[in-house]
């Protein structure tokens, strides 16, 4: 018997791969919700089956959102409506922000149940600076608009994160190389699934690697900010840390070397502690 949820809208993050990544709080919320707004009922039914519950579902996506939104808002006034996407955190490159906006305008409580996000997961895998990043969603599929979109963000001093499909991956990498230069990058695929893979290199190397292949699954591209040098090797990092620690504490030396060599600060600090 689940404790009833107060009326309102619940934004529930769901696994991007391994179903065991669903948090206990997310599972409890889905189990107790009066209705679940879903992108694809077949996908969500599989997740609900994993936790052994059945709940009413209402399709809510780009094609029916304007028609279904008033119905969902009405249900929120005296019941709990959970919003999920097919995978990850709703509203991150998925429909839903208008539902949140209208719920707030109507005085309806909105609660988030945080959890998996392909954007954040890919950032943790890429080995690129994470202190500032820009999420771009999907690039335009056609060459001209895609090149324009890339030129608009070429000068942004932040790590870039974007989604792409397997058939368009090589063309996207080539366009990023042409518009941004040969920056360090990573392609993360099938995160948290059986065949998870993260490939790193320069944009030209990655474009060449995928030129004749169309990898399957969900794909995230992560691109270094402008001015970040090619990834430093361990010997170079250690040499810079030894020099910096001759005059600084390990933490301050790690911060200096991380900025100098364009490596994650956590990595620099871990190596500094080992050297100490």
pLDDT band of 257, cuts 50, 70, 90: confident
Average pLDDT (114-131) is 95
Cα-based distances in Å from 190 to 16, 17, 36, 118, 237: 8, 7, 26, 9, 30
Average pLDDT (184-192) is 96
Q: Yes or no: say if 163 and 16 are a contact pair by the CB < 8 Å rule.
A: no
3-state secondary structure of 213: coil
pLDDT value, residue 237: 84
Average pLDDT (133-141) is 95
pLDDT value, residue 235: 80
The hierarchical CATH code for the domain 118-223 is 3.30.950.10
Q: Quote the tokens at residue 210.
A: 């995928």
- Tell me how far the alpha carbon of residue 275 is from its chain's centroid: 33
pLDDT band of 1, cuts 50, 70, 90: low
Neighbours of 185 (CB within 10 A): 26
Kindly report, residue by residue over 14-68, the tens digit of the pLDDT: 999 999 999 999 999 999 999 999 999 999 999 999 999 999 999 999 889 999 9
Kindly report, residue by residue over 193-222, the tens digit of the pLDDT: 999 999 999 999 999 999 988 898 889 999
Q: Yes or no: say if 110 and 100 are a contact pair by the CB < 8 Å rule.
A: yes
Asked if residue 266 has pLDDT above 90, the reply is no
Average model confidence (pLDDT) for the chain? Answer: 92
Kindly report, residue by residue over 55-96, the tens digit of the pLDDT: 999 999 988 999 999 999 999 999 999 999 999 999 987 768
Domain 8-113 is in which class?
alpha beta
pLDDT value, residue 230: 55
According to DSSP, residue 231 is labeled: P
């Amino acid at each position: 018997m689940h404790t009833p949820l107060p009326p309102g809208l619940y934004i529930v993050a769901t696994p991007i791969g391994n179903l065991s990544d669903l948090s206990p709080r997310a599972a409890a919320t889905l189990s107790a919700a009066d209705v679940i707004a879903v992108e694809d009922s077949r996908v969500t039914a599989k997740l609900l089956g994993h936790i052994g519950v059945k709940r009413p579902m209402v399709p809510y996506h780009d094609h029916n959102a304007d028609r279904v939104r008033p119905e969902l808002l009405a249900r929120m006034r005296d019941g709990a409506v959970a919003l999920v996407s097919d995978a990850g955190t709703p509203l991150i490159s998925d429909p839903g922000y208008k539902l949140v906006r209208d719920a707030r305008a109507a005085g309806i409580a909105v609660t988030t149940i945080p959890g998996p996000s392909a954007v954040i997961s890919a950032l943790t895998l890429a080995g690129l600076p994470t202190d500032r990043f820009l999420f771009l969603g999907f690039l335009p599929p056609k060459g001209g608009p895609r090149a324009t979109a890339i030129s608009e963000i070429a000068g942004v001093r932040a790590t870039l994160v974007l989604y792409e499909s397997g058939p368009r991956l090589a063309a996207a990498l080539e366009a990023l190389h042409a518009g941004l230069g040969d920056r360090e990058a990573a392609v993360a695929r099938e995160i948290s699934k059986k065949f998870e893979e993260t490939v790193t290199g320069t944009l030209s190397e990655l474009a060449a690697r995928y030129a004749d292949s169309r990898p399957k699954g969900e794909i995230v591209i992560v691109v270094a900010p402008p001015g970040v040098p090619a990834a430093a090797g361990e010997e170079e990092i250690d040499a810079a840390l030894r020099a910096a620690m001759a005059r600084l504490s390990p933490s301050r030396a790690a911060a200096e070397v991380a900025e100098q060599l364009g490596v994650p600060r956590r990595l620099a600090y871990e190596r500094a502690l080992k050297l100490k």
